[in-house]
Amino acid sequence: MSVRVRFAPSPTGPLHIGGLRTALYNYVFARQHKGVFILRIEDTDQTRYVEGAEGYIQECLKWAQIEPDESPMHKGEHGPYRQSERLSLYKEYVQKLIASGHAYYAFDTAEELEQKRAEASANKLHFSYDSSTRNGLRNSLSLSADEVNRLLSTNTPYVIRFKIEPDQQISIYDEVRETVSVSSNTLDDKVLFKSDGMPTYHLANVVDDHLMEITHVIRGEEWLPSLPLHHLLYEAFGWTSPTFAHLPLILRPDGKGKLSKRDGEIGGFPVYPLGWKEIPGFKESGFLSAPLLNFLALLGWSTKSDDEVLSLQQMSALFSMQGIQKAGARFDIEKLRWFNQQYLQGLPDDSLAEHCLAFSPELKLQSVECIIGALSLAKERLVVPQDLYNEHRYFFAAPKEYDQKAASKQWKEDSSKLLNEFLRQCEKTAYTQEELEACLTTFSETSGIGVGKVMAPLRLALVGALKGPSVYALMHYLGKDEVVKRVAKASSTL
């Protein structure tokens, strides 16, 4: 059987980067095995449904260039791909479980169950709806057939629960966790069908995975506690389980707990691929999709390759379940910034210029040639595209203010005189980097002063601070007239 995997998010809000990583692992695994990657929308919990979330999820996958082969927007033979459009299937299959004795009707009201919990709590016990309590509750196992039929015929509200047999040792192999063993005595009789006529995640998930012929279930660690129940459901239906792999959590930067939206707010970084309502995502913050995927791929998975910078094709070729770690992976925004920097440096200048323009409207006043010229000097320093204007504004406009600490130390009483004398020497040159450097060397020797006595105040005049590329390169880029203007302004100001 060919590999078929799925990413099955719920449209209850924006996609977290942990979800994007899950989608990525499924995608590269499918591509490696020439298989099929499916997007299934698990929208049976209507109380938590958020308008626009499904479209947002699809846009995230499109932006990340890991679009599915089958989805609500990419029709296939195993649809529909929204669970809300598959309700008749779940009703059919839950009835099969009732007929085989693996599930039962439960008519207990919320108030009755709450009373049971309160009674147990009063005796310092924990109430669980399971083999030890179900015969004393209102369900089709404890009531007579006539009473059950009467309750059903009068439309008495009910749920359908899965019947867990006691004293069973359940063992399942997980590709990441290896053998997972659980006693059935620790499991309760989970609800499979709710009183509102909608299936729970457990039933719908298992039925869909079987009918969609999913061969491998690659999902987050938070679903590991559900694995024994899902295994028992497969057995109850007489189906073969897919291969399971539960991915480690993405942890907060300090490694203490799962990464959340709040951590992003505190740390000043996004946690969503795209912007959601008023919250910017990685895209809006200047991160490209390729380095984000590269970063996420190595956040819980390691490769035998020494290369860290990997394309999507390389990830697909190298990916293996054996490389997935069990422990949670700490989110490191600085590492992601490094990845983004590497990818920006690899872009052609015209493509990078377009990115910079998109993030800095102020650059629209500049010619493309001017922007590309600035990139030739600042490209290696860019972490996100907006850095070109935000951090290197001096390429496009004279500084409006100067670093006072640097000025007090480097701008001397004779700085204006020395700079103007040096610039007069440069007037006869072609203003190339080589000739400017030679001119300063000659000026320094004939004047009997150190090069730094000219270089530091000159940089301060051109940039406004003691930073930036080579002064000679910057002078060449700005041109003779602009350099003279900037030195004159600094002289009058400082």
Residues marked as catalytic:
261
The residue assigned the tokens 């799962």 is 258
How many alpha carbons fall within 13 Å on the CB side of residue 126? 5
The residue assigned the tokens 């690899």 is 346
**How far is 58 from 140, CA to CA, in rounded Å?**
42
Q: What is the DSSP string of 365-391?
A: GS-HHHHHHHHHHHGGG-SSTTHHHHH
User: Residue 289: phi, psi to the nearest 5?
Assistant: -70, -35
Tokens of 274: 């795209």
Are residues 330 and 255 in contact, defined by beta-carbon separation less than 8 angstroms?
yes
Q: Which residues pair with 330 in a beta bridge?
A: 251
3-state secondary structure of 102: coil
**How far is 255 from 268, CA to CA, in rounded Å?**
17
3-state secondary structure of 179: strand
Tokens of 22: 């899950």
User: Residue 24: phi, psi to the nearest 5?
Assistant: -60, -50
Q: Which residues pair with 39 in a beta bridge?
A: 7
Maximum CA extent, the chain: 113
3-state secondary structure of 9: coil
CA angle 321–272–206, rounded 5-degree value: 50
Q: Which residues pair with 23 in a beta bridge?
A: none
